[in-house]
Amino acid sequence: MNLVDQLREILANESILPDDPNSAKSGTDLLEIVRPLLNGTYSDNSLRQTFSVLSADPTSPIARAERGYGYYRRPTNQRASIADSVQASPEAKTQEAELGRENQREEKFRAFYLRRLRLDNLFPVRIDHVTALRQQAGVNKWKFPDAVVLTWDVGESSETGFALDQAALEVRRGLGEQPFRLTSVELKVDLSLTTFREYFFQCVSNSMWAHSSLLAIACPVLDALLANELRRLGTSYGVGISAFDFTREQLDELPPASKIVSMPDSDFEALAAKQRETTITSGALRSQLDWEHIKDLKVQSYEFSDMFAWIARCLKDGKAYTIENYLSLRNIEAASG
């Protein structure tokens, strides 16, 4: 048996490598552990090189830690195989349905993420795929993001919230420049070597209409191979990628999505303070919106139509309304009119 095959077999033993990337073993420590288990004599350089080669192989049991340096045991469910299916099992789908949508990890993360954006004076809009017009199967696949974030380039924080700078707004209008940016956001609980390409290109597909694209992940990307692949894709396609520090268990322990939205500011700020957001790629800014694409999105989804009506009202009034405030204002005006 050659060195590569020997190491694959040895490293597959659960007692050799730690499961936690934060406890990753250095190459030197790993040398001392595996050398007595090998048949044959191999130099340190040969072993180190093979560790490195195997850690870059998504089917191998060894992974290199993205944070810091060292090796850990690649989770079994992240070992890629050509035959792997990215579709959730029927059992998993049934379990999620039983939990109820508000208790699903995806919805909890979305509630957390959108509320966290508000702390930075950003204006997020939730996009619900199920509210779009029904089409033939596949027509609207990968068409809608999970959220859109409005960023005003002509304002600042005030005691009453975020206020638009009227003078700067008029200058931008006079120059024909947009005073805002729209970021299309795809949210995922976690990525693996079997799912990252599908999830990444889902983000690409549903975001090219916007000024920028972002893939936000609840759980950290700890595998260096996975992180490098994401950097390569993000850089090539101009997509921003960021990850938080949640574990699946922590997401399960969070209150339902509606409770996250309504919890007191102090409680939410304490929750948000525990989460560090790591930027994997920064993404690129496109100079113009794709209005032809947007026209179709507005027809297919009333939420997109409402979103652009909201932005138009903000520009008309010179005020940075939240989407919720705008919808309330519109309902009041409709009732009184």
Please state the three-class secondary structure of 204-215 as a single string: HHCCCCCCEEEE
- Together in a domain, 23 and 153: no
The answer to whether residue 207 is domain-embedded is yes
Q: What is the DSSP string of 104-173?
A: SHHHHHHHHHHHHHHHTT-EEEE--GGGSPP-STTTTTT-S-SEEEEEESSEEEETTEEEE-HHHHHHHH
Contact in structure between 162 and 121 (CB atoms under 8 Å): yes
Give mean pLDDT, residues 290-298: 94
The answer to whether residue 92 is domain-embedded is no
- Together in a domain, 30 and 140: no
The answer to whether residue 209 is domain-embedded is yes
- Together in a domain, 175 and 305: yes
The answer to whether residue 146 is domain-embedded is yes
Which amino acid, one-letter code, is at 111?
Answer: A
pLDDT tens for each residue of 306-336 = 999 999 999 999 899 999 999 999 999 998 8
pLDDT tens for each residue of 166-202 = 899 889 888 888 899 999 999 999 999 999 999 999 9
pLDDT tens for each residue of 83-140 = 343 344 445 544 555 457 899 999 999 999 999 999 888 999 999 876 655 555 555 6
Give the pLDDT confidence score for residue 85 in this predicted structure.
Answer: 36
- Together in a domain, 144 and 271: yes
- Together in a domain, 134 and 69: no
Query: Is 73 strand, coil or helix?
Result: strand
The answer to whether residue 27 is domain-embedded is yes
Between 71 and 157, the more confident residue is 71
Q: Which of the listed residues 45, 78, 111 is the one where a domain comes to its end?
A: 78
Q: What is the mean pLDDT of the chain?
A: 87
- Together in a domain, 69 and 32: yes
**What's the domain count of the chain?**
2
- Together in a domain, 31 and 122: no
The answer to whether residue 85 is domain-embedded is no
- Together in a domain, 156 and 278: yes
- Together in a domain, 163 and 264: yes
Helix H or strand E segment including 48: helix 44-55
Domain interval for residue 42: 3-78
The answer to whether residue 87 is domain-embedded is no
